[in-house]
Amino acid sequence: VTSVGSIAEARVEAARLKPSHAVVDMRLEDGNGLDLVTEMRAMSPDVRIVMLTGYGNLATAVASGPGPTAVLS
């Protein structure tokens, strides 16, 4: 398990580790987690992603196209 605190750190670790699973928060200090999900899908289309949000913005996550595998709000 690897933990990061920003999208910038996540990009580095995702490229290095090529994870099969990821848990991503929708709102991060340096951007939107949905952007990270899109980037991770481009690197590894089969990655399983759980999107977290404390803001109840489920419609945004679902409408994001080939985004998260699951959404927890």
pLDDT, tens digit (0-9, with 9 covering 90-100), for 27-40: 888 998 888 989 99
User: Which residues lie closer than 8 Å to 3 by C-beta, 6 or more apart?
Assistant: none
> 13-70, pLDDT tens digit by residue?
999 999 999 999 888 889 988 889 899 989 999 999 888 877 765 566 555 556 666 6
Helix locations, 1-73, DSSP H: 7-17, 33-43, 58-62
Per-residue tokens: 42: 């481009």
- pTM for this prediction: 0.75
Q: Which of 71, 61, 72, 22 is nearest to 43 (CA)?
A: 22
**Confidence at residue 2, expressed as pLDDT on a 0 to 100 scale:** 93
